[in-house]
Amino acid sequence: MPAHTESPSVALVTGGTSGIGLAIAQALLQDGLKVVVTGRDTGKLDTAVRSLKMEDDWFDVAGYACDVRDRSAVHDMVEQCTKEHGEPRILVNNAGRSGGGATAAIPDELWLDVMDTNLNSVFWVTREVVRASEAIKQPTGRIINIASTGGKQGVSYGAPYSAAKAGVIGFTKALAKELALAGGPTVNAVCPGYVETPMAQDVRASYAELNQISEEQVLTEFQSKIPIGRYCTPEEVAGMVRYLAGPAAASVTAQALNVCGGLGSY
CA–CA gap between residue 72 and residue 224 (Å, rounded)? 43
Supply the DSSP string of 220-241, one letter for each residue.
HHHHHTSTTSS-B-HHHHHHHH
Give SS3 for 34: strand
With 0-12 / 13-18 / 19 or more C-beta atoms within 10 angstroms meaning exposed / middle / buried, residue 221 is middle
Contact in structure between 106 and 159 (CB atoms under 8 Å): yes
CA–CA gap between residue 98 and residue 194 (Å, rounded)? 12
Contact in structure between 127 and 51 (CB atoms under 8 Å): no
Per the residue annotation, which of 64, 161, 207, 231 is the catalytic one? 161
* SS3 labels along 24-55: HHHHHHHCCCEEEEEECCHHHHHHHHHHHHHH
Contact in structure between 257 and 190 (CB atoms under 8 Å): yes
CA–CA gap between residue 207 and residue 18 (Å, rounded)? 22
Contact in structure between 101 and 210 (CB atoms under 8 Å): yes
For residues 134, 20, 32, 47, the Cα torsion angle rounded to the nearest 10 degrees is 100
| Catalytic status, residue 161 | yes
Name the residue type at position 191: C
Residues marked as catalytic: 161
